[in-house]
Amino acid sequence: MRELVLGGVKSGKSTLALELATASAGEVVFIATATAGDEEMRRRIERHRRERPANMEVVEEPLHLAGALEREARSGRCLLVDCLTLWLSNLLVRTDDALLAAETGALVDTLPSLPGHVVLVANETGLGIVPDSALARRFNDEAGVLHQRLAARSDRVILVAAGLPLVLKGPPM
């Protein structure tokens, strides 16, 4: 099962994704993409660490996500990636278009062949105003295209708003 969970900031998408992952049979591996670039982000990461079950294995991978998924995926295991938004941001700030294309392409290409269950979490950013900076506009464009490509390869796509899930594709929850 491949699941893509989309939603706005504080929509409840991460909570739902964690519920989906822990409800799956077997071990859950949390793949974290965030980096602590400032004190506020460091506090957020620490809060998320405290909120996760203590027995959950955590793999930190800010750039080479497809490689981490390939290493960690196996039958009877659920990989929970939180979140694609931060991962994409990490790639964009490197200003290396070849790296961005290679890593996003690798993720899209790798996803269908992975054994086990995969739950991907991402912020849906295309519902707001058009940003006033070139980097933010590029981020929205790249995120929108990535979400479309991943949705096409996912068994279920869920949009979360106000803590309420709406299944856009695939079996009901």
Q: Where are the domains of the chain?
A: 2-169
State the Cα–Cα distance between residues 173 and 134, nearest whole angstrom: 38
> Residue 25: is its pLDDT beyond 80?
no
H or E, element range at 29: strand 27-32
The correct answer on CATH 3.40.50.300 for the domain covering 2-169 is yes
> Quick one: pLDDT at residue 64?
98
Q: Give yes or no for a contact between 166 and 16, defined as CB atoms under 8 angstroms apart.
A: no
pTM for the structure as a whole: 0.94
State the Cα–Cα distance between residues 72 and 79, nearest whole angstrom: 8
Is 48 annotated in the active site? yes
Give the position of tokens 């079950």: 53
CA angle 122, 124, 126 (to 5 degrees): 145
* pLDDT tens sequence across 127-142: 888 888 999 999 999 9
* pLDDT tens sequence across 107-118: 999 999 999 999
Interstrand relation of 27-32 and 156-161 (parallel, antiparallel or unpaired): unpaired
Interstrand relation of 57-60 and 77-82 (parallel, antiparallel or unpaired): unpaired
